[in-house]
Structure 1
Amino acid sequence: MSVVVTAVVHPKQGKLEEALAAYGRYIDAVHAEPGCELYALHTDGSSIVVIEKWASRADLDAHAKGEVLAALGPELDALRERPADVTVLEPRPAGGGRGAL
C-alpha cells in the first residue's frame, strides 16, 4: 500500500530561496529512488510544504535512511528555524478514485 507524506519546513527569515535551492540540488536523486511516486515542493512564501508519495512504507523507510537525506539534512538544518513538521499518511481513496494522490 502506498504512503503519503507531508513535511512542512520552516526556513529562517530570508532563507526560503536558499532552502528551495537546497531541495533543488537533490530532487532528481529523490525521484530516482526506488518507490518514489511523487516528491513535490510547494510554498506559501514563508514555508515549504513537501508532498511525497511512496509505493510502500519500506520505500519511505529506505529514503529516510538513505544517502540523499543524509546529504540534504545538514544543509536544511542550517537554514530552518526548527525541525520539519512531518506527517505520514495512509491514503483513504474516495470519490470514485479521484480522491487520492
Structure 2
Amino acid sequence: MANPIVVVATMLAKPGEEDTVEKTLSGAAVSVHVEQGCLLYALHRKSGTPGEFVMIEKWASREDLDAHLRGAVMREVGVALRNALAAPPDVKLLDALPVGDSNLGTL
C-alpha cells in the first residue's frame, strides 16, 4: 500500500474577492470528498486574516493526488479563481512521520 500524502495549500484572495475564493473552495469540497483516495479535504481561514485560506488535504497515494489535480473539479476551481487570487497558491506536499499515539501523531 502506498503512503498517504498530505497537502497544505495556502491561497491569498485579492481584496474584495474573499467571498469568491471561499465559495469556490467550499463548493468544490462535496465533489472532492467522493474522489478516489480522498482521505481529507478541509478548508480553513487564517485567524484574523479574512483573505487568507488554507486547504489541508490527505490523499491515499500520490497517484490519487495526481488524478485529483488533473480532474474536472480542479480545472473548474482554477478557472473560478484565475482572477481572484493575489498570487499563485503556495502548495506544500508532506510525507507523514507518525509519532507517538497512532491516532494523535499523524493526520
The one-letter amino acid paired with 2:83 is: A
Q: Taking every aligned residue pair, what percent have the same amino acid on both sides?
A: 40
Residue 100 in structure 1 maps to residue 106 in structure 2: yes
Structure 1 residue aligned with 2:35 = 33
Q: Give the structure 2 partner of residue 52 of structure 1.
A: 57
Q: CA RMSD in A?
A: 0.9
- Return the alpha-carbon distance in structure 2 between the equivalents of residues 78 and 25 of structure 1: 18
Alignment: residue pair count: 101
* Structure 2 residue runs without a partner (length 5+): none
Residues 6-25 of structure 1 mapped to structure 2, 5 A cutoff = 6-25=8-27
**Paired residue for 1:69?**
74
Question: Normalized against structure 2, the TM-score is what?
Answer: 0.90
Measured against aligned partners, the alpha-carbon deviations of 1:7-49 in whole angstroms (never above 9, x if no partner) come to 0001001211221001122111000100000000000222000
- Give the letter for the 2:98 counterpart: P
CA distance in 2, matches of 1:56, 1:74: 26
Q: Where has structure 1 moved over 6 Å in runs of 4 or more?
A: none
Cα distance between partner residues in 2 of 1:43 and 1:73: 19
Q: TM-score, normalised by structure 1?
A: 0.95
Distance in 1 (CA, whole Å) between partners of 2:60 and 2:66 is: 11
